[in-house]
Amino acid sequence: MSQLHEPAEEIQRLLTFVTEHSASDLHLKVGIPPFVRIGGHLRALETPALPNSSYIEEMMFGIMPPHRRQEFIDQGGADFAYLASTGDRFRVNVFRSDGDMHAALRRIQHVIPSFDDLHLPDIYRKIISDTHDGLVIVSGVTGSGKSSTLAAMLEYINQHRGMHIVTVEDPIEFRFTSKKSIISQREIGIDVPDFALALRYVVRQDPDCILIGELRDKATILAALQAAETGHLVLATLHCLDAEQTFSRILEFFPHDEHEFVRSSLANSLRAVMCQRLLPGVKPGSRYPATEVLLNNSLLRERIVNEQEGDIPALLNACRDEGMRDFNHSLYDLMMKEFISHRVGMEYAPHREALASLLKGIDTSSEGLVHRI
């Protein structure tokens, strides 16, 4: 890629390049060449700088749904999905920066991944096989693979269970074909104006399983908890680092005088919190998930109600025989399988001394903690 073409042609060339080189993201910004993210690393393409905002606007308006154009003009940003000629869908965010349009495009592979494809531990499959109601949260920062994990969960249900699944997404990323289950996918801005309205009526649509793209505000969380408490299986994502932070993040949306109610609801309806981080693998361009899995049991319910989330790290280790796991043990497994390097494992370890002890064959994670539980 050595020169810029007309905007409509250039964006198609760039999207094809992203697919052919297995890049995860494409970034467009005025005054610099397009950047792609491959194997977790940003790289500039060998092409001229994008000349001005008008050029990027022509690129984006050519693939943007008309109703999103006005949203960008009015609000300075918009999200949408685009199906490229390669068969890959892209989750696109356009935003105004210093008066110019910039864009970030994330590639969503057209093939729905399995748990094995994503290198997720067996507990993920067990949770989605055995859970018939309640709330399952997939947590992680941007780019940690939450959407792919939810897609794998839904496809597993679709292949093995007869359920009516309703998704509420902004935008729709993976497109599902109904198999054993019926799947109804609703996109914000196209099928329904907003999350609040979609979730207000979702239980009237006779769902067995509800997927909420993101727990993003008080109304969304309340709707998820209510649906989970009334016998529905609710799958959702949350933007935070680990299981302990998941609770504080949820409570941030509520005034303090409502925390007792929220805690009680979570204690009753929560089934699992599954956190993940994508790490660069030993093989160039590969990435593997480090995972933390918290399952609800009588010990966790007690701690949720009594505001004792600080005990969650100890709980994760004391209940490993139930399928719980913390990031350190996940990193240890990845390093033993030689999926990630020692350097990467130590760099991402939340507690480096504990991981170093594991590598030496000394498991100190539960010492002095079990008696508290």
pLDDT tens-place string over residues 269-292: 999 999 999 999 999 888 999 999
Residue 372, pLDDT above cutoff 50: no
Check residue 87 and give its pLDDT: 85
pLDDT at position 190, please? 81
Taking the C-alpha atoms of residue 31 and residue 201, their distance in angstroms, rounded to an integer, is 46
Distance CA 176, CA 191 (A): 16
Q: How far is CA 37 from each of CA 27, 129, 155, rounded to the nearest angstrom?
A: 8, 34, 27
Domain borders along the chain are 7-108, 122-372
Task: Kindly state the average pLDDT of the residues 335-347.
Answer: 95
What pTM was estimated for this model as a whole? 0.83
Instruction: Give the type of residue at 65.
Output: P
For 45-79, write each residue's pLDDT tens digit: 999 999 999 999 999 999 999 888 999 999 999 99
pLDDT at 293: 98
Q: Which residue has the tokens 């790289």?
A: 43
Least confident span in 168-172, 302-306, 369-373: 369-373
Q: Are 232 and 210 in contact (CB under 8 A)?
A: yes
Q: What is the DSSP string of 308-347?
A: -GGGHHHHHHHTGGGT-B-HHHHHHHHHHTTSS-HHHHHH
Write the pLDDT tens digit of every residue in 228-273: 999 999 999 999 999 999 999 999 999 999 999 999 999 999 999 9
Q: Does residue 51 have a cis peptide bond before it, meaning omega lies within 30 degrees of 0?
A: no
Cβ–Cβ < 8 Å for 131, 271: yes
Which stretch of DSSP H or E encloses residue 298? helix 298-305
Q: Which pLDDT band holds residue 1 (cuts at 50, 70, 90)?
A: low
For residue 280, give the H/E element and its range: strand 270-280
Out of 3.90.79.10, 2.60.60.20, 3.70.10.10, 3.40.50.300, the CATH code matching 122-372 is 3.40.50.300
> What sections of 161-242 are H helices per DSSP?
195-201, 218-229
Distance of CA 273 to the CA centre of its chain: 12
Domain 7-108 fold is Beta-Lactamase (3.30.450)
Q: What is the pLDDT of residue 365?
A: 55
- The CA-atom distances, in angstroms, between 88 and each of 12, 143, 155, 291, 311 are 12, 17, 17, 26, 42
Could you read off the pLDDT of 110-128 as tens digits, one per residue? 789 999 999 999 999 999 9
Residue 369 token pair: 């903690």
